[in-house]
Amino acid sequence: MAAGELSGRRIVLGVSGGIAAYKSAELTRLLVKAGAAVDVVLTEAGARFVTPVTFQALSGNYVWTDIWDARRPANMAHIDLTRGADAVLVAPASADFMARLVQGMADDLLSTLCLARPRAGMDGAVRDCPLLVAPAMNRQMWENPATQRNVAQLVEDGVSMLGPAAGDQACGEIGMGRMLEPEELLEELVAFFEPKLLAGRRVLITAGPTQEALDPVRVITNLSSGRMGYALARAAAQAGADVTLVSGPVDLAVPRAVTRVAVRSALDMHAAVMQRVRGQDLFIAVAAVADYRPAAANPHKIKKSGAPLSVELTPNPDILAEVAALPDAPFCVGFAAESRNLDEYAEGKRRAKKLPMVVGNLVQDGLGGSDNSVVIYDAEGRHALARAPKEQLARDIIAHAARLAAAPRSA
């Protein structure tokens, strides 16, 4: 998560009664850290689990609990709190609270403001203030047909359901009904606001370094951190794509809603890509694939001696070039990490591999770091993107690729 991904957003966080309310304190902190302004509304039961003081300290705003609160601006807190808000998120949403939402009850502040969400956006456009709901309850309560009926009705009413997840429950049982973790809810919320430029599209991405075995304990590898590829996988998933990430060995969390296939060598990566490339709409090759591998990996550890050691290297297949040359090739995006002459080398690579789009960067600008500055090369020329966190660049690159992929092809 890059800082500021929710900056300028105002979120009304509703907390109903459930033990998962303690996680909403952490969620408030994360929302604020992501740049959002947060107004917390507690139900009476919610306030029994975590007190308003906690949410007030974390959000930096007055916390609302009572429909009769004398501080209500012009006696209309139920309207004012959501006026200009970008979303109402109820987390945790108890079984009882969801039932009340379905019935359109308005017997406390949170239910009233959910019912009275005004149709106005920050940009002045008229639209519903979206309602997102993160259920949290005991497994049996979740599985109860009454709850399932309510969930189906809420979805039909246009409410976005976030989770729940399966796992250990506070009551000691194991099953469906756990609230998503605060980090997951934050990811869901960030994704919710992203334009769905790749809705229904399938995207295959390679990322990270490869490791080429010299012997059972030694490899030839490179300094790629995988961060750019992972950020692209996240941005593509947030844009609505079905994303498969073929990743060399890196220590990064799999982005939400992304399927990762872990590989080690260039040959493994090649096989994993070729197996999955059919039916993909986009292929984005970000991996720093080793150009060469030892011609034969030594089956036993190479022993030290005073004599010089030479290792014969043999070229690896060029995965990107091979995919781009397929008769039914997806829209292909290549990366070019260069240490000089970026324009010449990156555009040269685009033409040599017959790619509609290449993203170039100077290694001294970004390899392994969290920020980068890149230039996009396509049939129309070069487009320099300002230095930014890789998450932001990933969004811009995905938007550019989505636009080109939707247009008639020209290389």
* Contact residues: ligand C5P, CB under 6 A: 206, 266, 285-287, 289, 316, 318-320, 334-336, 349
Residue 104: CB minimum distance to ligand C5P, A:
53
Active-site annotation holder among 114, 129, 171, 332: 171
CB 244 within 8 Å of CB 262: no
Closer residue to ligand C5P in complex, CB, 11/232: 232
Distance of closest approach, residue 295 Cβ to ligand C5P, in angstroms: 16
| Three-class DSSP category at 126 | coil
The total number of residues written for the chain in this structure: 411
User: Rounded to the nearest whole angstrom, what is the least distance from the CB of residue 268 to ligand C5P in the complex?
Assistant: 12
Q: Which residue, 98 or 320, is less far from ligand C5P as judged by CB?
A: 320
How many angstroms separate the Cα of 150 from the Cα of each of 102, 106, 134?
6, 17, 13
Name residue 258's beta-bridge partners.
243
Task: Select from 278, 260, 279 the least CA-distant residue to 269.
Answer: 260
Structure tokens at 239: 């844009």
Nearer to ligand C5P, 50 or 287 (CB): 287
The smaller minimum CB distance to ligand C5P, of residues 102 and 266, is found at 266
Query: At its nearest, how many Å lie between ligand C5P and the CB of residue 231?
Result: 15
- 280: nearest Cα among 105, 401, 145, 114: 401
Q: Which is nearer to ligand C5P, 35 or 348 (CB)?
A: 348
Q: 41: which 2 tokens?
A: 């509304």
Distant-in-sequence, close-in-space partners of 341: CB < 8 Å, separation ≥ 6: none
- Beta partners for 283? 204, 332
- Smaller CB separation from ligand C5P, 57 or 352: 352
* Least distance from ligand C5P to the Cβ atom of residue 172, Å: 48
How many whole angstroms separate alpha carbon 40 and alpha carbon 25? 10
Q: Which of helix, strand or coil describes residue 332?
A: strand
Q: What are the start-end ranges of the H helices in 135-226?
A: 139-143, 145-156, 182-193
What is the rounded distance in angstroms from the CA atom of residue 132 to the CA atom of residue 93? 10
Q: How far is the CB of 332 from ligand C5P (least distance, A)?
A: 9
Helix (H) or strand (E) holding 205: strand 202-207
84 in the Ramachandran plot: left (φ > 0), alpha (ψ -120 to 50) or beta?
Answer: left
How far is C-alpha 192 from the chain's CA centre?
10
Q: What is the distance between the alpha carbons of residues 263 and 341, in angstroms, rounded to a whole number?
A: 31
Q: What is the distance between the alpha carbons of residues 357 and 205, in angstroms, rounded to a whole number?
A: 14
Residue pair 9/193 in contact by the 8 Å Cβ criterion:
yes
Closest approach of ligand C5P to the CB of residue 269, in Å:
8
- DSSP for residue 22: H
Minimal distance, residue 208 CB to ligand C5P, in Å: 10
Burial of 188 (0-12, 13-18, 19+ CB in 10 A): buried
Q: Which is nearer to ligand C5P, 192 or 292 (CB)?
A: 292
Q: Which is nearer to ligand C5P, 219 or 287 (CB)?
A: 287
Does 332 participate in catalysis according to the annotation? no
First to last CA, the chain: 34
Which residues are catalytic, by number? 171
